[in-house]
Protein backbone atom coordinates (compact mmCIF):
# COMPACT_ATOMS: atom_id res chain seq x y z
CA UNK A 1 0.00 0.00 0.00
CA UNK A 2 2.91 2.38 0.57
CA UNK A 3 3.87 2.28 -3.09
CA UNK A 4 0.31 3.02 -4.14
CA UNK A 5 0.09 5.89 -1.64
CA UNK A 6 3.36 7.30 -3.00
CA UNK A 7 2.04 6.97 -6.55
CA UNK A 8 -1.12 8.91 -5.69
CA UNK A 9 0.48 11.62 -3.62
CA UNK A 10 3.82 12.21 -5.35
CA UNK A 11 2.75 12.07 -8.97
CA UNK A 12 0.71 14.62 -10.82
CA UNK A 13 -2.32 12.34 -10.95
CA UNK A 14 -4.55 14.65 -8.91
CA UNK A 15 -3.40 17.75 -10.78
CA UNK A 16 -4.10 16.10 -14.13
CA UNK A 17 -7.53 14.89 -13.00
CA UNK A 18 -8.48 18.34 -11.72
CA UNK A 19 -7.23 19.95 -14.92
CA UNK A 20 -9.29 17.52 -16.99
CA UNK A 21 -12.46 18.20 -14.97
CA UNK A 22 -12.02 21.97 -15.15
CA UNK A 23 -11.13 21.89 -18.85
CA UNK A 24 -14.19 19.81 -19.68
CA UNK A 25 -16.44 22.16 -17.76
CA UNK A 26 -14.79 25.23 -19.28
CA UNK A 27 -15.32 23.74 -22.74
CA UNK A 28 -19.06 23.84 -22.03
CA UNK A 29 -18.74 27.53 -21.09
CA UNK A 30 -16.90 28.28 -24.32
CA UNK A 31 -19.44 26.31 -26.36
CA UNK A 32 -22.37 28.17 -24.79
CA UNK A 33 -20.70 31.54 -25.28
CA UNK A 34 -19.88 30.74 -28.90
CA UNK A 35 -23.47 29.67 -29.56
CA UNK A 36 -24.77 32.88 -27.99
CA UNK A 37 -22.27 35.05 -29.88
CA UNK A 38 -23.03 33.47 -33.24
CA UNK A 39 -26.74 33.93 -32.66
CA UNK A 40 -26.16 37.61 -31.89
CA UNK A 41 -23.98 38.49 -34.89
CA UNK A 42 -26.39 37.81 -37.81
CA UNK A 43 -29.29 39.82 -36.41
CA UNK A 44 -28.31 42.06 -33.54
CA UNK A 45 -31.82 43.47 -32.96
CA UNK A 46 -33.62 40.12 -32.94
CA UNK A 47 -30.87 38.42 -30.93
CA UNK A 48 -31.34 40.63 -27.90
CA UNK A 49 -35.11 40.22 -27.97
CA UNK A 50 -35.25 36.49 -27.37
CA UNK A 51 -31.69 35.35 -26.60
CA UNK A 52 -30.16 37.08 -23.65
CA UNK A 53 -26.72 36.53 -22.17
CA UNK A 54 -28.32 35.21 -18.99
CA UNK A 55 -29.85 32.17 -20.73
CA UNK A 56 -27.92 28.98 -21.42
CA UNK A 57 -24.56 30.76 -21.20
CA UNK A 58 -25.30 32.14 -17.73
CA UNK A 59 -26.37 28.72 -16.49
CA UNK A 60 -23.20 27.19 -17.91
CA UNK A 61 -21.02 29.79 -16.19
CA UNK A 62 -22.77 29.17 -12.87
CA UNK A 63 -22.37 25.40 -13.31
CA UNK A 64 -18.66 25.91 -14.06
CA UNK A 65 -18.10 28.02 -10.95
CA UNK A 66 -19.98 25.55 -8.75
CA UNK A 67 -18.06 22.61 -10.21
CA UNK A 68 -14.75 24.42 -9.76
CA UNK A 69 -15.59 25.15 -6.11
CA UNK A 70 -16.57 21.52 -5.48
CA UNK A 71 -13.40 20.22 -7.13
CA UNK A 72 -11.28 22.67 -5.15
CA UNK A 73 -12.80 21.99 -1.74
CA UNK A 74 -13.44 18.25 -2.20
CA UNK A 75 -10.26 17.25 -4.06
CA UNK A 76 -7.55 19.91 -4.11
CA UNK A 77 -7.66 20.97 -0.44
CA UNK A 78 -7.67 17.41 1.02
CA UNK A 79 -4.99 16.35 -1.48
CA UNK A 80 -2.76 19.29 -0.55
CA UNK A 81 -3.15 18.55 3.17
CA UNK A 82 -2.43 14.84 2.68
CA UNK A 83 0.58 15.58 0.51
CA UNK A 84 2.00 17.99 3.10
CA UNK A 85 1.35 15.46 5.87
CA UNK A 86 3.03 12.52 4.15
CA UNK A 87 5.64 14.43 2.14
CA UNK A 88 6.41 17.67 4.01
CA UNK A 89 8.19 20.36 2.10
CA UNK A 90 11.78 20.99 3.18
CA UNK A 91 12.49 23.68 5.72
CA UNK A 92 13.46 27.01 4.20
CA UNK A 93 17.13 27.83 4.33
CA UNK A 94 20.37 26.31 3.21
CA UNK A 95 20.45 22.49 3.08
CA UNK A 96 22.94 20.72 5.35
CA UNK A 97 25.12 19.44 2.51
CA UNK A 98 25.48 22.95 1.09
CA UNK A 99 26.39 24.29 4.55
CA UNK A 100 29.07 21.61 4.87
CA UNK A 101 30.50 22.48 1.46
CA UNK A 102 30.54 26.16 2.40
CA UNK A 103 32.44 25.37 5.61
CA UNK A 104 34.99 23.33 3.66
CA UNK A 105 35.37 26.17 1.15
CA UNK A 106 35.90 28.70 3.93
CA UNK A 107 38.46 26.49 5.68
CA UNK A 108 40.38 25.96 2.45
CA UNK A 109 40.29 29.68 1.70
CA UNK A 110 41.66 30.39 5.22
CA UNK A 111 44.56 27.98 4.74
CA UNK A 112 45.65 29.49 1.44
CA UNK A 113 45.18 33.25 1.58
CA UNK A 114 45.03 34.93 -1.80
CA UNK A 115 48.03 37.08 -2.77
- 2-20: pLDDT as tens digits: 777 777 776 677 788 888 8
**CA of residue 82 relative to chain centroid, distance:** 16
Q: Is the pTM of this model over 0.85?
A: no
Kindly list the distances between the CA atom of residue 30 and the CA atoms of 6, 11, 54, 58, 64, in Å, as whole numbers in the listed order.
36, 30, 14, 11, 11
Q: Per-residue pLDDT tens for 82-111?
A: 888 888 877 777 788 888 999 999 999 888
DSSP 72: I
Output the pLDDT for position 43.
55
Considering only residues 55 and 22, tell me which one the structure prediction assigns the higher pLDDT: 22
Amino acid sequence: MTGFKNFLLRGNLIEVAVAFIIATSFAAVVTAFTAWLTSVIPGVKSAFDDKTLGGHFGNTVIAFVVLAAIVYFAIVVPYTKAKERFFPSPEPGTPEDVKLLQEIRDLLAGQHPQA
